[in-house]
Structure 1
Amino acid sequence: MSLNRELEQLVAACHWIGGKGWAPATGGNMSIRQGEDFCLLSESGKDKGALTCDDFIQVEIATNRVPSGRKPSAETGLHTLIYRLFPDAGAVLHTHTVNATVLSRVEKSPALLLQGYEMQKTLAGQSSHLDAVSVAIFDNDQDIEALAARIARFAAQSPLRYGFLLRGHGLTCWGRDVNEARRHLEGLEFLFQCELQRRVLEAK
């Protein structure tokens, strides 16, 4: 698929995310890989439900350098980290949903374990509700470089798949292309909502 077509799909995904209220108040950021050396990342401060192809900025994956001098998202370093860690990652979506934000604070362990849900099969490589899906949770940090370094150290010891949560912040997920990243986002959000409601009901 051409880069222009992939970018159009990313813009459509952003409008879908905005319509669901998953990136409120210009929050969140999205990107696609542009060859081996660059990615195209959403510009800072833009309403994700109204993005156009012109609102994506070229960023060098190895250095976070922006050739145009425009201002990309604050979490640029997390997108480039994912592209460095996972050569097959073609798109990254970062959202600020209520389910992801609340669960990341309620769950005190370093990972959220999901098991017993048929919708786990929306995640690449998952074939049964009996398997456990582990979603890593990292403490939030305004120092993105330090946060990226912590995530990289974790990834060197334990596999990161599909995405991770930032405590009190939101979900970052990825896929081989926009469609897979979008499927992972929707699947994980459904699972987060189920898990959150299960915990509320069990606490009564």
Structure 2
Amino acid sequence: MTQQLQLAELVAACRWLGAKGWAPATGGNMSLRQDSEWCWLSESGKDKGSLTESDFLQVNIGDNTAPSGRTPSAETGLHTLIYRLFPEAQAVLHVHTVNATVLSRLVKGNRLTLQGYEMQKSLRGQSSHLDALQLPVFDNNQDISALAQRINSETSKDDLQWGFLLRGHGLTCWGRSVQEARRHLEGLEFLFECEILRRRLEVL
């Protein structure tokens, strides 16, 4: 698939998640790898449900700079971290869904464990509901550079194979294609909703 078609696919994914209300009030950010040195990342302050291809900026994966002089998303450093850690990563989606935001605050430790859900199989490499799926949870930080350094130093690549939660902030997930990133997002969002409902019913 050509870069232009991949970017068009990412724009379609942005419209889809925007329609679901998963990136409200210009929140969230999305990106696509161009090659080993560059990615295309959504511009800051744009409504993600109405993005066009011209709203994506070329960003250097090594130093987070945008040659255009325009301002990429505030979470640029989280996207480029994923691209540096995983050469196979082709797309990164960061969303502010209610389920991800609330569940990240309910988790007391640094891992969200999910088990017993058939939809765990929506994530690459998962083949059974019996497996214990763990997703890292990090405290939010407005200093994205420091946050990216912490994620890199405190977490193994195996822990980040689908993405991570930021406490009170949202979900960052990735895939080997736009389609896979979108599937991971939808699957995780379903699992988060189920887990919140399960926890709510347990205290009734």
Question: Quick check: TM above 0.5?
Answer: yes
User: Is 1:104 matched up with 2:130?
Assistant: no
**TM-score normalized by the length of structure 2:** 0.98
Q: Which residue identity lines up with residue 33 of structure 1 in the other structure?
A: R
Give every structure 1 segment of 4 or more consecutive aligned residues whose post-TM-superposition deviation is greater than 4 Å. none
Q: Work out the number of aligned pairs and report it.
A: 204
User: Is 1:26 matched up with 2:26?
Assistant: yes
Q: How far apart are residue 155 of structure 1 and its match? A: 2.8
Show the counterpart of 1:41.
41
Q: How far apart are residue 154 of structure 1 and its match? A: 2.1
Q: Is the 8 A contact 2:136 2:159 kept in 1?
A: no
d(CA) in 2 for partners of 1:133, 1:127:
11
Q: Which residues of 2 match residues 148-167 of structure 1 at below 5 A?
A: 148-156=148-156, 159-167=159-167
Q: Which residues of 2 match residues 160-175 of structure 1 at below 5 A?
A: 160-175=160-175
Structure 1 residue ranges without an equivalent (≥5): none
d(CA) in 1 for partners of 2:2, 2:21:
29
Show the counterpart of 1:126.
126
Q: How far apart are residue 65 of structure 1 and its match? A: 1.1
% identical aligned pairs: 69
Q: How far apart are residue 158 of structure 1 and its match? A: 5.7
SS in 2 for 1:131: coil
d(CA) in 2 for partners of 1:185, 1:154:
23
Structure 2 residue ranges without an equivalent (≥5): none
d(CA) in 1 for partners of 2:66, 2:151:
23
Q: Is the 8 A contact 2:85 2:157 kept in 1?
A: no
**TM-score normalized by the length of structure 1:** 0.98
d(CA) in 1 for partners of 2:24, 2:50:
12
User: Is 1:77 matched up with 2:77?
Assistant: yes
d(CA) in 1 for partners of 2:155, 2:30:
21
d(CA) in 2 for partners of 1:158, 1:185:
18
